[in-house]
Every structure is written in C-alpha cells, then in structure tokens.
C-alpha cells in the first residue's frame, strides 16, 4: 500500500468510496457497509465546541529572539542571553464573533503567544489593548452575555452591549479604545500586542518585580474605517486570515518588538495608580518601555484544525522567573482557561502536538480520555514513595508575597478614579481621531435606547467635557437634553 491509498481507520483497504452497498440496484442500504458507517459516524462528530470567546482566529509559528539583557530582573532561561532564540506559536483572534464571523469587525483582537521554552511552556494570552473592560473576574461571563447574541432575538444587541458597558464606570477606558481608530485593525499584522495584566518577574537572587509586557508592530499601525470594513467584509469575510497566511507564504514575515515595563515590588505602596487594576495603564513617563527582543512569525500551520483550532493557551502556564500578581482578573483567568480546555479538547489536551512542551516533562497525571502516550508505564502513581519518583523542586519556589487585609467581597468601584485615564487618552488624540471616536461611538450606540446613550455621554463628560460633547453631537443630542434627561438610570427596556 502506498500512503495515498484509502484505508479504514483500522487499516483495511476501502474497495468502494463512491457507492453505498444496497440490497439490489434500487434496494435499501445494508448495515454491513462498515466503511459507510465509519465515515458517517466520524463526520457526525467532526465539530468540537468553539472557544466561548475569541472563537475566530488565525495562527502561525515563529521565533522569539533576545536583543537586550533583562537578566537582572528575571531568572527565566528564555531571556538568559542576548541572541538566544525560543520557538513560539501565536494565535490572533477577534473576541465576540463566532467561529465563522467576519474578521474585519470592530472588536478587541486576541494576541496569544505560546513560548516553547526549555523550562516548559509560557503562554502569554494577551490582547491588542493594554487595558480591559473589567477589573473583577466575577463580571466576565456577564460581559460575554452582553456582547454576544440576545437570548430572544439571537441578534447582537446594541442595547445589551451598551447597557452593560455604561453601568460599569471602569469599562470607559477600554470602550474608548475600541471605539477609536485602533478599534478596527486592518490586519493582525498591523496592531500592537499587550500582556495587559501585571505579572511578576523573579530574579536569580530571589527578588520580585512587577512587569507588564508590550509588543510593538514593525509593520506599523494600520486601521480600517467602519465604511472600509463594510466594503471589505462584502468581498472577503476572512481578510485577517488571508493576510497573515499569504504574507507568511510570500516570505514577508511579520515582526514585533518586545518590551517590558518594570516596577519594584515595594513601589506598589506609594504609586498612586493601583498597579493590579486591569482597567489602567502604567504611564510610560513613570515606567518607560525597556527593550527585550523581537518576535517573528515565519511558518504557516499545515493543518488549521490540528494546530490552530486545537491550540490551548492558558495564563496559568508560566515558567520559573515569571509569575502572577494580585490582579483579580488574572487570578480568575488562572482557573477558567484550563477548565474550558478540559471541556473543549479533553483532559489530555496537553498531548496535542501544538500544546506539548518541547522540553522533557513529567507531569504525574495519569489516565483520562484519549491518553495517547505511554502513560508513564509502570512508574509509581503515588507520592511520597520510596523510589525517588515525582520529586518536587523547591529551588523553584517564589519568594513569599506579603498580603494583608480582611477577607471580603471588596467593592473596587468605591473611591476609584475611572475617568482620568480615558480623559488623558482622549486628549492624546488629534482632532481627526477624536471625530472618528465620536462617529464610531454614535454608529455603535445609535441602536441603543436613548437613556443608555445619555448614560454613556455622562460617563464621557466625566472623562472630558469635549468627549461627551462630541459624542452627543454625533448622536444629534444637545448638552441641555443630556443634562435634563430624567430617564437616566432606568433599567427597564421596552
């Protein structure tokens, strides 16, 4: 048999793949056509659950290369020396659309990087924005229910979307970015990436630093207007996938410069901005970007399902020298991804080649559906044991983190300033960008009820009077009307 000849899953030759076996030329089908049954039964199970968010995506392999020394801050071996290279796999995505959604939609973009390091996998599961809508993971399922389809109409709903966003003051910063010119990137190559959360670095001498990760596109930022996107989607729903695939196939390898911002562990007490609040940035004037290296994407996956659809990124995957932080959102994510992937791909999804560490690993877990390796053969399956099996590695424990305070459901919305940073971002925009922000906002919120529009304008006014005025004007509302509107705060949707 040569490798192109068709066999059953069990390896037997398939003599006829055109005609079902029937009783007589015009008779009913026979149950003994085992190939037909195998083919149909497999087909019936081809679809796996899509990711709850970030369902539509594109992936590529590449390399991370160190260009600057950051070893004083982290012991992570992937940063050990200038010139060192680590293989990576990156998956970009849109967030709210389903697996078949058009690419060129106004939305956040996912920017997830899997570093196959010699000390295990580091997944940096970020976005193209430095902040997020929320700072408490309790609200994440609500966010998704608000931006996805309405349970009654099965349509995306401006009411649901904007009702939710405008009731959360902390969302305004991210909403401002998504409604700005950067809210609709032209391609995945023409946008920046961010780890967004504050993470930690642990140095060789056991000191902790807080760190944020940034990736700046070497292709330059390019965006689409809503009108351009509308036309593009009419001609090509897969514009991001096509662009990434074809540019890599042409040998035009996209690149991003990698930077970090570093904060001393002790500085958190005196810094006026809560460094663990995912709705806020650390201004570069306070914490400048420190260059680290470069990532390049240079190889397309051979098989989309095997390598991109089955890819599983998990913020809980860190390596020695990189750690978490008290950011509540990050803490919530540490549970959610592995849990979602055990449902979406199965308990042994780490064995899928795109997800497997490229270094030796020895992970204790046994059995489970679809175990395809040797399952650690006859090795003992308990610890402690007398045979030196499954030894923990205390040299890699992190320095203790000081925690104080009472256990409670702390309401972070009290006494917090959620308006200064969106206001500053608004004032950074030139008049043309500000006008785009007004128009994009009006186009998106225009389908929502008036009291929701007015609530948003009032939030914008708290950030900057001109921001609120501009959105109001684009919606054809006067400031007087905004001020005098009495339905503000109503929750009833007619």
In the structure, how many helices (H) and strands (E) does the chain have? 13, 10
Residue span 130-149 as binding mask against ligand HEM, x where in contact by CB under 6 A, dash where not:
--x----x--x---------
CA distances, 237 to each of 48, 57, 102, 232, 284 (Å): 22, 12, 4, 7, 37
Please tell me whether residue 421 binds ligand HEM under the rule CB under 6 A.
no
Rank residues 190 and 333 by Cβ distance to ligand HEM and give the closer one: 333
Q: How far is the CB of 301 from ligand HEM (least distance, A)?
A: 13
The alpha-helical segments, DSSP class H, found in 304-392 are 304, 328-344
SS3 333: helix
Give the residue among 62, 47, 64, 49 at the shortest CA–CA distance from 312: 49
> Which residue among 17, 42, 127, 314 is the active-site one?
127
Cis check: omega of the bond before 384, within 30 degrees of 0: yes
Please tell me whether residue 200 binds ligand HEM under the rule CB under 6 A.
no
Residue positions counted in the chain: 494
Cα separation, 376 vs 356, whole angstroms: 16
Rank residues 311 and 454 by Cβ distance to ligand HEM and give the closer one: 311
Cα separation, 262 vs 278, whole angstroms: 16
Please tell me whether residue 426 binds ligand HEM under the rule CB under 6 A.
no
Helix axes 465-474, 431-445, angle to 10 degrees: 50
Q: How far is the CB of 42 from ligand HEM (least distance, A)?
A: 23
- Is 54 among the catalytic positions? yes
Rank residues 93 and 223 by Cβ distance to ligand HEM and give the closer one: 93
Q: How far is the CB of 383 from ligand HEM (least distance, A)?
A: 29
Cα separation, 324 vs 202, whole angstroms: 10
Rank residues 149 and 342 by Cβ distance to ligand HEM and give the closer one: 342
Please tell me whether residue 56 binds ligand HEM under the rule CB under 6 A.
no
Q: Which two three-digit tokens encode residue 380?
A: 């003992």
CB atoms within 10 A of CB 120: 17
Judged by CB under 6 A, which of 57, 183, 321, 323 binds ligand HEM?
A: 57
**Taking CB positions, which residue lies at the least distance from ligand HEM?**
110
Please tell me whether residue 292 binds ligand HEM under the rule CB under 6 A.
no
Please tell me whether residue 168 binds ligand HEM under the rule CB under 6 A.
no
> Which residue among 54, 197, 240, 456 is the active-site one?
54
| Binding residues for ligand HEM restricted to 302-361, rule: CB under 6 A | 311-313, 329, 332-333, 336-337, 340-341, 344
Phi-psi region of 7 (alpha: psi -120 to 50; beta: other; left: phi over 0): beta
Cα separation, 374 vs 366, whole angstroms: 10
Rank residues 341 and 453 by Cβ distance to ligand HEM and give the closer one: 341
Rank residues 103 and 464 by Cβ distance to ligand HEM and give the closer one: 103
- For strands 199-202 and 193-194, give the pairing: unpaired
Residue span 236-275 as binding mask against ligand HEM, x where in contact by CB under 6 A, dash where not:
----------------------------------------
Q: How far is the CB of 332 from ligand HEM (least distance, A)?
A: 4
Of 52-60, 150-158, 387-395, 402-410, the window that binds ligand HEM (rule: CB under 6 A) is 52-60
Q: Which two three-digit tokens encode residue 491?
A: 């929750």
Q: Give the CA count within 13 Å in the CB-facing half-sphere of 443.
A: 14
Residue span 89-128 as binding mask against ligand HEM, x where in contact by CB under 6 A, dash where not:
--x-x----------------x-x------------xxx-
Of 45-53, 168-176, 178-186, 295-303, the window that binds ligand HEM (rule: CB under 6 A) is 45-53
Tell me how many residues contact ligand HEM (CB under 6 A): 27
Give the residue among 59, 115, 8 at the shortest CA–CA distance from 359: 115
CB atoms within 10 A of CB 154: 9
- Is 17 among the catalytic positions? no
CA distances, 494 to each of 170, 243, 446 (Å): 26, 43, 16
Element at 175 (helix H, strand E) = helix 172-179
Binding site for ligand HEM (CB under 6 A): 51-54, 57, 91, 93, 110, 112, 125-127, 132, 137, 140, 196, 311-313, 329, 332-333, 336-337, 340-341, 344
Tell me which residues are annotated as active site. 54, 127
């Amino acid at each position: 048999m040569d490798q192109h000849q068709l066999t059953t899953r069990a390896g037997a030759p398939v003599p006829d793949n055109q005609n079902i076996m029937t009783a007589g030329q015009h008779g009913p089908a026979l149950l003994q056509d085992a190939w037909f049954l195998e083919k149909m039964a497999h087909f019936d199970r081809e679809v796996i659950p899509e990711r709850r968010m970030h369902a539509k995506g594109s992936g590529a392999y590449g390399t991370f290369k160190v260009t600057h020394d950051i070893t004083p801050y982290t012991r992570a071996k992937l940063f050990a020396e200038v010139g060192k290279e680590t293989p990576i796999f990156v998956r970009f995505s849109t967030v709210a659309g389903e697996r078949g959604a058009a690419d060129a939609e106004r939305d956040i973009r996912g920017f997830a990087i899997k570093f196959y390091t010699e000390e295990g996998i580091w997944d940096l599961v970020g976005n193209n924005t430095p902040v997020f809508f929320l700072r408490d993971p309790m609200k994440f399922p609500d966010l998704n229910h608000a931006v996805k389809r309405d349970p009654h109409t099965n349509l995306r709903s401006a009411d649901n979307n904007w009702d939710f966003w405008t009731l959360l003051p902390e969302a305004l910063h991210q909403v401002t970015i998504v409604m700005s010119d950067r809210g609709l990137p032209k391609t995945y190559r023409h946008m920046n990436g961010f780890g967004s959360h504050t993470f930690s670095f642990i140095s060789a001498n056991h000191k902790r630093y807080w760190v944020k990760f940034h990736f700046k596109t070497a292709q330059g930022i390019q965006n689409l207007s809503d009108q351009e996107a509308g036309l593009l989607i009419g001609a090509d729903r897969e514009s991001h996938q096509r662009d990434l695939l074809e540019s890599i196939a042409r040998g035009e390898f996209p690149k991003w410069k990698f930077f970090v911002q570093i904060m001393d562990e002790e500085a958190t007490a005196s810094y006026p901005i809560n460094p663990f609040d995912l709705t806020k940035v650390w201004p570069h004037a306070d914490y400048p970007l420190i260059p680290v290296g470069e990532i390049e994407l240079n190889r397309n996956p051979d098989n989309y399902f095997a390598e991109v659809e089955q890819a599983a990124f998990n913020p809980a995957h860190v390596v020695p020298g990189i750690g978490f932080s008290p950011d509540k959102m990050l803490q919530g994510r540490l549970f959610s991804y592995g849990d979602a992937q055990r449902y979406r791909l199965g308990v042994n999804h780490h064995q899928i080649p795109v997800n497997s560490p490229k270094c030796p690993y020895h992970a204790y877990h046994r059995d489970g559906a679809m175990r395809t390796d040797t399952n650690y053969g006859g090795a003992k399956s308990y610890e402690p044991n007398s045979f030196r099996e499954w030894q923990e590695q205390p040299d890699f424990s992190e320095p203790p983190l000081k925690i104080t305070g009472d256990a409670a459901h702390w309401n972070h919305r009290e006494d917090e300033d959620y308006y200064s940073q969106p206001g500053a971002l608004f004032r950074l925009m030139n008049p043309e960008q500000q006008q785009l922000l007004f128009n994009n906002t009006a186009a998106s919120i225009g389908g929502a009820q008036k009291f929701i529009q007015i609530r948003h304008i009032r939030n914008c006014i708290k950030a900057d009077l001109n921001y609120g005025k501009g959105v109001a004007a684009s919606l054809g509302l006067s400031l007087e009307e905004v001020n005098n509107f009495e339905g503000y705060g109503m929750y009833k949707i007619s």
